[in-house]
């Protein structure tokens, strides 16, 4: 079945780039994203903690990428400046 989806230009460019990095077509990327979203909705969020509880489960490589970003940003925090 075919359908039409309107995607903002900026988001489309991100999707296109991520799909290319994975060696996927945009169609394959969208189908994977929809399947992942449906799978997350089946699993109870109570099993997840931290940012994953808020945003759901993801592919291991995506989770690792987000966690690396979080770790990198958190390493920039000066504990002395927090009071």
DSSP, residue by residue, 20-83: HHHT--HHHHHHHHHHHHHHHHHS-GGG--THHHHH----HHHHHHHHHHHHHHHHT--GGG--
Tokens representing 69 are 């970003």
Structure-model confidence comparison of residues 20 and 38, the more confident one: 20
Structure-model confidence comparison of residues 70 and 54, the more confident one: 70
The predicted pLDDT at position 2 comes to 87
Number of separate domains in the chain: 1
Residue 2 lies in a domain: no
Look up the domain containing 59 and give its range. Answer: 9-81
Residue 4 lies in a domain: no
Alpha-carbon dihedral of residues 51, 57, 58, 63, nearest 10 degrees?
40
Query: What confidence tens digit (pLDDT) does each residue in 2-14 have?
Result: 889 899 999 999 9
Query: What confidence tens digit (pLDDT) does each residue in 25-54 have?
Result: 999 999 999 998 888 766 655 466 676 666
Residue 55 lies in a domain: yes
Kindly tell me if the per-residue pLDDT of 16 is higher than 60.
yes
């Amino acid at each position: 079945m075919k359908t039409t989806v309107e995607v903002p230009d900026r988001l489309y460019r991100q999707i296109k780039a991520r799909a290319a990095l994975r060696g996927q077509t945009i169609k394959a990327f969208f189908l994977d994203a929809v399947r992942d979203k449906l799978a997350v909705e089946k699993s109870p969020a109570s099993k997840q903690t931290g940012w994953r509880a808020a945003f759901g489960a993801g592919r291991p490589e995506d989770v690792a990428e987000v966690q690396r970003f979080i770790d990198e940003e958190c390493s920039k925090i000066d504990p002395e400046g927090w009071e």
